[in-house]
Amino acid sequence: MRALVVERLAPDYAGCVVKDIPTPEPGPGEVRIRVRAAAVNFPDLMQTRGEHQHKPQVPFTPGMELAGEVDAVGPPLVQGGVTAFQPGDAVCGGGRGGMAEFAVLPAAGLRRKPETLSFSQAAGYAVAYLTAYVAFERCARLQPGEWVLVHGAAGGVGLAAVDLARIMGARVIAASASDHKLAVIAAEYAPEATVNVTRGFRERVKEITGGRGADVIYDPVGGDVFDESLRCIAFGGRILSIGFTSGRLPVLPVNIALIKGFSVIGVRAGEYGRQFPEKGRENHEAIWKLAEEGKVKPRVDAEYPLADWRAAFDSLADRKVIGKTIVRPDL
């Protein structure tokens, strides 16, 4: 089968190559999937350089989210077996190896693809929406009518936050450094307001919120964006630290937190589920129920064949994406 393989860790994806490798066989409790779509996430890019906290042993195939059709199931386990899925079933899930024609994953980590989502939408759904759900529901305890400022609103994680906050009844301010991206977000997701952060945003956010400031700030950017967010958070508000795509880790002057009475909460959706397994299962059920009911609008920005994986990676690295970038091994 054809697969994208990271043969060595290097800058600019220099250690990556598309090549023929043996088609994997599913073991007990596993399913082999004919991959129809694999989402590109920032951890995929970081892993090619060895910069992510999870460091797979080389060689490996990136792709932590995928969707496709069951091709084969492994032999039964001592107690039970792979009975939930049959060849031909449309499924989605994650873990490893999505950027290949076939991938083998544990059956326990797969779900049936909702009919409301395409393969590409399903492939890029779980990580972004689970992050937003844990941030708003578990960490911020978001209430209807509260003001939510979403930074990096055009990215996959940010756009999911815009969508989910809207569903939860919040008043959403979408923030980005691109007027074009903000126009697309306004047309497709109808937030209460949009703000271009390149011109500064704290006064505009205060103006939009009647001087109060944002009750919740969703920040996957960090750096200067975090610093200015401290100036437009409402008293008693919550700043949700999702990541640091700016490349700079900000430092919190605790005197500002003391004076304004706000909280800064780190959000790691996967770790939350590991620490609280029952709540983790509830989180997954909640986001997939929203998908099955057709309430969410995951946006696919572009699809690339496996041979054009570099262009797909670059589109994410260069911040050109509105929503999710997808690699299609079946093209």
The three-state DSSP-derived secondary structure of 302-320 is EEEEHHHHHHHHHHHHCCC
Q: Is the pLDDT of residue 203 over 90?
A: yes
Q: Is the pLDDT of residue 308 over 70?
A: yes
Question: Average pLDDT of the chain?
Answer: 94
- Over residues 138-180, the pLDDT tens digits come to 999 999 999 999 999 999 999 999 999 999 999 999 999 999 9
Give the per-residue pLDDT at 245.
Answer: 86
CATH 3.90.180.10 residue ranges in the chain? 2-125+299-328
Neighbour-count burial of 23, counting CB atoms closer than 10 A to its CB (0-12 exposed, 13-18 middle, 19+ buried): middle
**What pLDDT does 96 receive?**
85
* CA–CA gap between residue 318 and residue 153 (Å, rounded): 15
d(CA 301, CA 312): 10
Is 155 in contact with 40 (CB distance < 8 Å)?
no
127-271 maps to which CATH number?
Answer: 3.40.50.720
The per-residue pLDDT for 250 is 95
Residues ≥6 apart with Cβ < 8 Å to 296: 125, 129, 160, 163, 164, 167, 287, 290
- Low-confidence winner among 208-217, 246-255, 296-305 (lowest mean pLDDT): 246-255
Q: What is the pLDDT of residue 78?
A: 45
Q: 66, 94 in Cβ contact below 8 A?
A: yes
Is 321 buried (19+), middle (13-18) or exposed (0-12) by CB count in 10 A?
A: buried
Task: Provide the percentage of residues in the chain whose pLDDT is more than 90.
Answer: 88
- Tell me the per-residue pLDDT of 34-90, one tens digit each, with 9 for 90 and over: 999 999 998 899 899 988 878 899 999 999 999 999 999 988 654 445 567 999 999
Q: What percent of the chain has pLDDT over 70?
A: 98
pLDDT band at 247 (very low <50, low <70, confident <90, very high): confident
Q: Which tokens in the block code for residue 58? A: 């080389």
pLDDT for the residue numbered 42? 86
Structure tokens belonging to residue 74: 């492994």
* Homologous superfamily, domain 2-125+299-328: Medium-chain alcohol dehydrogenases, catalytic domain (3.90.180.10)
For CATH 3.40.50.720, list the domain ranges present in the chain: 127-271
* Helical packing angle, 179-189 and 156-167, nearest 10°: 30
pLDDT of the residue at 95: 82
